[in-house]
Amino acid sequence: MANGRLIFISGGVRSGKSAYAEQLVVASGAVRNVYLASGQAHDAEMRARIRRHQDDRSGQGWTTVEQPTDLKKVLPKLCSGDAVLWDCVTAWLANELYEGWEQGTPCAKKPGCMEQKWLELQEAVIELQHQAQLLVIVSNEVLDDFVRDEMYQRWLGKIHLWLVARADQAFELENGAAYRRKG
């Protein structure tokens, strides 16, 4: 099967990335639109953001799959020709990088742990692209911000570079306006 189109969307927090991505998926005309959600509701602010995203999609026929880690687990839940929106890379990265934090052994401190998760992510994205007619991936642009976690920034930069290289199109959202960066 030929690869489906891959569109990468990045931008600042609350810049309109998700709404723009949703429009692209709905406009694709796929039989089924799948929202692949990586966010976890650990606090009131995140619960409110998740609820707002769910409300925005309600009544529009979206199939939502919650997958905060291990993206490969979503593959059996997809159908050939789906349009998939993965929101978002930054939530997934935080979930994976700090998995095990509660026990004092986050992946970030285990030799080779994140490297393995990186390989698995690449395999999952490639397979998602094989299955979906359209794969839209959303990520926050935090590389310009003051972030104290250099490891997080290094991994996010590496992931963004790889995704943009694979993407047919890449957009940066700023204040609700989409700027084409590739394609």
* Domain region containing 49: 5-182
Residue 80 counted as an annotated binding residue? no
Say yes or no to pLDDT of 49 above 70: no
Tell me which residue of 24, 157, 180 sits closest to 90, measured CA to CA.
157
Please tell me which residue in 42, 53, 130, 160 is annotated as part of the active site.
53
Q: Which of 19-28, 81-90, 94-103, 168-177 has the lowest mean pLDDT?
A: 94-103
Q: Both tokens of residue 151?
A: 């490891």
Residue 30 counted as an annotated binding residue? no
pTM of structure: 0.90
Helix (H) or strand (E) holding 149: none
Residue 144 counted as an annotated binding residue? no
Any catalytic annotation for residue 53? Answer: yes
- The C-alpha atoms of residue 57 and residue 19 are separated, in whole angstroms, by 9
Mean pLDDT for the stretch of residues 72-100: 94
Q: Which of 56-60, 132-136, 151-155, 163-167 has the lowest mean pLDDT?
A: 56-60
CATH classification of the domain holding 64: 3.40.50.300
Segments of the chain assigned E as strands: 5-11, 33-37, 62-66, 83-87, 134-140, 169-174, 177-182
Residue 176 counted as an annotated binding residue? no
- The C-alpha atoms of residue 72 and residue 68 are separated, in whole angstroms, by 11
Q: Both tokens of residue 130?
A: 């094989």
Say yes or no to pLDDT of 58 above 70: no
Count of the separate structural domains present in the chain: 1
- The C-alpha atoms of residue 61 and residue 58 are separated, in whole angstroms, by 7
- Note the pLDDT tens digit of each residue in 113-146: 999 999 999 999 999 999 999 999 999 987 666 6
